[in-house]
Structure 1
């Protein structure tokens, strides 16, 4: 039987190991990771905030032309799109949004199913004066982008999904355990193991484990596991994401996107196939996108990004930009 003294000793050892790892992260002053500081790095863009569908949403907007909405994923913020935003703004009004629960947006107790998140974005697009927009999403943002198109087809000119499909009945059957010999600290694309989908279902415990700066430990592992080239995220990028998810509220809200998957699966069963043009861009998620969209869209194309892990907007921005420019223009 494990005694309390042994547990206390293990806790002390964990603290001794974790503190140096967290401290080893490059020091970036908090003043450099605020939205005000970040937007200054993108000439022609500005921060905005709007009450949409009952929540205050933070967004960054710039450029001119048709509306192009960029939706980020976990564990990132609008900043994940910064390498593409200046080029996209040459022909579009680019609107990069922090989803409900993310970054500078509100983090209410509920409303994290993708249908509600899509309603948030639709209300924001209308409030900004657009009846229709191109919708681009990555990761959780890709799920929201699909839901936007499914629920507001008249407002969706074109849809782009990056590396993640919307939850459907097949997701509920993903394995809890990895296949023998396939799991390491680098993703095996043929045998993906997404253990955090289950971890984030637990309410309260992730906040206890990861608040007060320890979220950086999980993020560092995720970036190592899911990226082919970690150097594509520099010290500033990592500090932005670490700061954005450091509070208990931010961790709770991020987990809530995953806790809503069962509801998302129910909602998905009621969606008709999409009729608008759809582009799906995949790294490790290429096969997932291809198999899912086969029955979800009548007019789609799925492409594979070479030499990239999951974080395509930061790992291979030029390849992604080429596909976006060809598809959207």
Structure 2
């Protein structure tokens, strides 16, 4: 199968690429071979599989890393529908089935971490552990969230069907701005090639990105307000890493899940912002070893 776009892949000689037919669409998978526990790595916005290349370099073959592009992102096929969390969770589970993997470790960043929590609540038997990066859990304390809603100002330019797609498709400077200003005062952690790649990828994936944000508004926000997830328990051993200087998901938003989880730890990475895999890949790799080594 060929990818839906002719854009060249970012260069990373360690990664092996293939397309898989999943639930009526084609998903692109970048795989880093390794001998340890297979890990499903779910990227966030505005990135794709390449978000994990620095972490992969730190792990150096210690784990088999499975880095798919979410539906409509990167080199995965763009479809008209299927961008709500339930559908994306269906994609992820079907991908594991297509790979013949009954149980794996799970790592997610940003939107990928939001999806990761959904997966752990839906199918805990499929995951040996979960490493969540830069994302609040499904049981946020309203008194911590409400005063920080202003930090999500940029979503107003993304979530609405007409405006969002126009901004994402035709204003690459918007993506560059978000990437530079959501790190902890160190925009130099991004190379010019990385900024150009993610800006181009966001333009190509404008339909998927906008739809993802809009589905969150339609479904996830009402569920959080209603406290839907308070009736569900997290049984997968979980480590939640946040950036000490994350300006999107601030540290106060990470607390409060303990009554709903069997084993959940929260840890802050000093002097880091919203993109831990880019800013502190060694800290992410250390957390992977800590959480998954016993399963190797």
TM range (shorter): 0.7 to 0.9
CA distance in 2, matches of 1:287, 1:101: 32
Paired residues in the alignment total 277
How much does 1:312 deviate? 0.6
Give, in whole Å, the separation in 2 of the partners of 1:104 and 1:234. 21
* Aligned ranges 1:103-114 → 2 under 5 Å: 103-114=74-85
Give the corresponding residue for 2:27.
Answer: 57
What CA deviation, in whole Å up to 9, does each residue of 1:264-315 have, x standing for no partner?
Answer: 3438715611112001000123332223x23442201111011111011001
In 1, distance between residues paired with 2:81 and 2:259? 30
C-alpha contact (below 8 Å) 1:72/1:140 kept by paired residues = yes
Residues 246-268 of structure 1, C-alpha deviation per residue, up to 9 Å, x if partnerless? 23xx1121021111123134387
| 1:239 counterpart (168, 187, 196) | 196
Change (3 A) 1:89 1:60: farther
TM-score (norm 2): 0.85
Residues 82-117 of structure 1, C-alpha deviation per residue, up to 9 Å, x if partnerless?
Answer: 001134352321101111121111221121111211
RMSD: 2.6
Secondary structure of residue in 2 paired with 1:224: helix
Pick the aligned partner of 2:151 from 193, 196, 209. 193
Task: Flag the structure with larger Rg.
Answer: 1
Other-structure match for 1:269? 228
2:285 paired residue number? 321
The SS at the match of 2:28 is strand
**Aligned partners of 2:145 and 2:253 also within 8 Å:** no
CA distance in 2, matches of 1:210, 1:149: 30
1:63–1:327 distance in 2 versus 1, CA, 3 Å: same
SS at match of 1:126: helix
- Which whole-Å CA distance do the structure 2 matches of 1:163 and 1:204 have between them? 28
Q: Between the two structures, name the one with larger relative contact order (CA 8 Å, sep ≥ 6).
A: 2
Q: Could you say which residue in structure 2 is the equivalent of 1:13?
A: none
Q: Provide the TM-score with structure 1 as the length reference.
A: 0.77
Unaligned runs of 5+ in 1: 1-29, 180-189
Q: Counterpart of 1:93?
A: 64
Residue equivalent to 1:119: 90
* Structure 1 SS opposite 2:161: coil
Does the 8 Å CA contact 2:114/2:137 hold for their aligned counterparts? Answer: yes
- Selected match of 2:177 from 200, 204, 221: 221
In the alignment, the residues of structure 2 paired with residue 169 and residue 307 of structure 1 have an alpha-carbon distance, to the nearest angstrom, of: 23
Query: Which stretch of the first structure deviates more once superposed, 123-132 or 61-70?
Result: 61-70
The equivalent residue for 2:208 is 253
8 Å contact kept, 1:211–1:246: yes
Is the counterpart of residue 289 in structure 1 residue 254 in structure 2?
yes
* Whole-Å separation in 2 of the counterparts to 1:82 and 1:192: 31
> What is the Cα deviation at residue 138 of structure 1?
0.3
CA contact (8 A) 2:180 2:187 kept: yes
